[in-house]
Structure 1
Amino acid sequence: MLSIKIKAGSLTNLTDARYFSAWEVEWLGFNLSTGEENTIAPLQVAAMREWVEGPKIVGEFSLSAKDDILQQVADLRLDAVQVGMFTDLATVMDLSYQLPVIKEIVVEKTTTTGDIEFMLTHFAPHVSYFLLNFDKGGFGWNDVQNGAILNASIVQDFCQRFPILLGIGIQASELPSMLEYLQPAGLHLLGGEEEKTGVKSFDDVDELFEQLSLVVGQK
Structure 2
Amino acid sequence: MSLITSVLVRGINNLSDARYCAGMGADYLTFNLDPALPNHLAPEAVKELGGWVAGIKLVGEFSTLPAAEINAIARDCGLSYVLLTRIRPKEELAGLELPVLQLMNWIPDMLPEDVDMRFKQLKGHVAGFVLPTIPPQPLTGVQLAHLTEQARTYSIWLAAGFATGKLRDLLNTVQPAGIVLEGGDEIKPGLRDFSEMEAVFEELED
TM-score relative to the length of structure 2: 0.90
Distance across 2 between alignment mates of 1:133 and 1:120? 16
Distance across 1 between alignment mates of 2:110 and 2:31? 26
Distance across 2 between alignment mates of 1:122 and 1:182? 22
User: 1:57 is matched with which residue?
Assistant: 58
Distance across 1 between alignment mates of 2:178 and 2:25? 13
Of the three residues 180, 183, 187, the one matched with 1:191 is 183
User: 1:217 is matched with which residue?
Assistant: none
User: 1:166 is matched with which residue?
Assistant: 158
Give RMSD over aligned pairs: 2.0
Distance across 2 between alignment mates of 1:10 and 1:112? 30
User: 2:25 is matched with which residue?
Assistant: 24
User: 1:39 is matched with which residue?
Assistant: 40
2:67 touches 2:92 (CA, 8 Å); kept in 1?
yes
CA positional deviation for 1:200: 0.7
2:34 touches 2:63 (CA, 8 Å); kept in 1?
yes
Distance across 1 between alignment mates of 2:109 and 2:86? 14
Distance across 1 between alignment mates of 2:133 and 2:160? 5
CA positional deviation for 1:132: 2.2
Of the three residues 191, 195, 212, the one matched with 2:204 is 212
2:63 touches 2:85 (CA, 8 Å); kept in 1?
yes
Distance across 2 between alignment mates of 1:45 and 1:172? 34
SS at match of 2:101: strand
Distance across 2 between alignment mates of 1:74 and 1:209? 30
Residue type of the alignment partner of 2:35:
T
Deviation readout 1:94-143 (Å, 9 max, x if unpaired): 22xx22211111223554433321121111112211112324xxx36xx2
CA positional deviation for 1:31: 1.0
Residue type of the alignment partner of 1:87:
R
How many positions carry a matched residue from both structures? 205
2:10 touches 2:180 (CA, 8 Å); kept in 1?
yes
Deviation readout 1:170-196 (Å, 9 max, x if unpaired): 569520111111110111111011111
Residue type of the alignment partner of 1:94:
G
Distance across 2 between alignment mates of 1:65 and 1:113? 31
User: 1:125 is matched with which residue?
Assistant: 124
User: 2:12 is matched with which residue?
Assistant: 11
* 5+ residue gaps, structure 2: none
SS at match of 1:120: helix
Distance across 2 between alignment mates of 1:190 and 1:145? 21
Note closer, same or farther for the CA distance 1:180–1:163 as it changes in structure 2 (3 Å cut). same
Q: What is the percent sequence identity of the aligned residues?
A: 28
User: 1:182 is matched with which residue?
Assistant: 174
TM-score relative to the length of structure 1: 0.85
1:108 aligns with 2:107: yes
User: 1:91 is matched with which residue?
Assistant: 92
Deviation readout 1:13-32 (Å, 9 max, x if unpaired): 11101111102211110011
